[in-house]
């Protein structure tokens, strides 16, 4: 579950990896001497050679850490590609982890919808463009396609120190949600069909917020207050909790794996401003979420800002 920016970046990573399996790529550079990693998979040192460990801060919102995994051959050459993509926010909260080993190639993911259920972040220290220290440990999963398959997992333990950072050019505004209790959201995505538009965002601990059943995008909805209750069928906000088995099984909603809260509240389109050439809509919203008529969450004056 992922915002369009991250999904696009992952696609680019995979394209690069597919093109670099069998040939030596000049794009793979030596690991900066000031960047260090100790990596263990299932308690053993990584079977691949790591190069190009680096990190960047994108749009002052996300820390992206990556490296290449390489396999040396008997004739002195090597093959491989992107080995890891770890995303944290600038406070050290885990957003996602993707890992790929070579010889043979295997891909692993942090649990879909609930990455913190199986992964821990410790020892976080960050000063922008100066130093980043972080330890990540826990389980990551092969993607499965059968609902009844047992999750296939390995353990990962990475101690990372970065002093040389790459520059990330922020070419687009990144949607964000704030003041929603202590929840950490991983961006925002939009689904769109004719006369049916919805926006959804996943937290890093297994919740999903969705603005749904709109016939216009936010940028086309007039300023003003919109109220909904548990029986409203349009212009409403849903909130749900993931209760399934942590794994990497199709990045979409399976009803059996979610607890749907009864929701009511309101949202207000406050303003629309141009930021970096994009029209950004600011929305303030209130939400009451109930389970069996008992209030579980009460959210006041949360803020959503998006260019979508």
Summarize pLDDT for 13-32 with one digit per residue, the tens: 443 333 333 333 333 445 56
Q: Is residue 171 part of a domain?
A: no
Output the pLDDT for position 26: 34
Output the pLDDT for position 30: 52
Asked whether residue 28 falls in the same domain as residue 121, the answer is yes
Quick one: what percent of the chain has pLDDT higher than 70? 89
pLDDT of 220 over the 90 cut: yes
Asked whether residue 224 falls in the same domain as residue 149, the answer is no
State which of 162, 196, 218 marks the end of a domain.
162
Q: Is residue 141 part of a domain?
A: yes
Average pLDDT over residues 106-134: 97
State which of 128, 162, 196 marks the end of a domain.
162
Rounded to whole angstroms, how far apart are CA atoms 74 and 88? 37
In this prediction, residue 4 has a pLDDT band, given cuts at 50, 70 and 90, of very low
CB 306 within 8 A of CB 281: yes
Output the pLDDT for position 17: 38
Asked whether residue 68 falls in the same domain as residue 110, the answer is yes
Please state, in angstroms and as integers, the Cα–Cα distance from residue 250 to each residue in 37, 96, 179, 188, following that order: 31, 15, 30, 18
Rounded to whole angstroms, how far apart are CA atoms 269 and 227? 12
Domain enclosing residue 158, as ranges: 4-162
Q: How many domains does the chain have?
A: 2
Rounded to whole angstroms, how far apart are CA atoms 67 and 46? 13
pLDDT tens digit sequence for 145-186: 888 888 999 999 999 999 999 888 877 888 999 999 999 999
Q: Is residue 93 part of a domain?
A: yes
Asked whether residue 143 falls in the same domain as residue 10, the answer is yes
- What pTM was estimated for this model as a whole? 0.87
Q: Is residue 24 part of a domain?
A: yes
Q: Is residue 105 part of a domain?
A: yes
């Amino acid at each position: 579950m992922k915002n369009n920016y991250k999904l696009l970046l992952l696609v680019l990573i995979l394209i690069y990896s597919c093109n670099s399996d069998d040939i030596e790529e000049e794009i793979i550079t030596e690991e900066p001497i000031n960047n260090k990693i100790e990596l263990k998979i299932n308690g053993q040192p990584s079977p691949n050679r790591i190069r190009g460990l680096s990190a960047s801060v994108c749009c002052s919102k996300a820390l992206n850490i990556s490296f290449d995994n390489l396999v040396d051959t008997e004739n002195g050459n090597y093959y491989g590609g992107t080995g890891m993509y770890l995303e944290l926010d600038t406070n050290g909260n885990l957003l996602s982890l993707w890992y790929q080993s070579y010889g043979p190639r295997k891909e692993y993911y942090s649990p879909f919808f609930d990455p913190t259920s199986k992964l821990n972040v410790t020892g976080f220290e960050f000063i922008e463009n100066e130093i980043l220290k972080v330890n990540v440990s826990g389980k990551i999963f092969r993607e499965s396609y059968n609902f009844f398959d047992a999750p296939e997992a390995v353990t990962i333990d990475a101690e990372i120190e970065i002093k040389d950072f790459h520059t990330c050019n922020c070419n687009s505004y990144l949607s964000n949600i704030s003041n929603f209790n202590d929840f950490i959201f991983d961006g925002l995505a939009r689904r769109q069909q004719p006369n049916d538009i919805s926006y959804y965002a996943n937290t890093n601990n297994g919740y999903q917020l969705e603005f749904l059943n709109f016939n216009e995008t936010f940028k086309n909805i007039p300023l003003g207050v919109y109220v909904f209750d548990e029986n409203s069928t349009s212009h409403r906000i849903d909130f749900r909790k993931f209760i399934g088995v942590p794994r990497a099984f199709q990045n979409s909603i399976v009803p059996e794996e979610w607890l749907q809260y009864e929701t009511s509240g309101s949202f207000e389109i406050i303003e629309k401003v141009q930021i970096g050439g994009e029209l950004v809509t600011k929305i303030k919203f209130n939400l009451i979420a109930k389970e069996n008529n008992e209030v579980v969450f009460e959210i006041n004056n949360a803020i959503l800002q998006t260019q979508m």
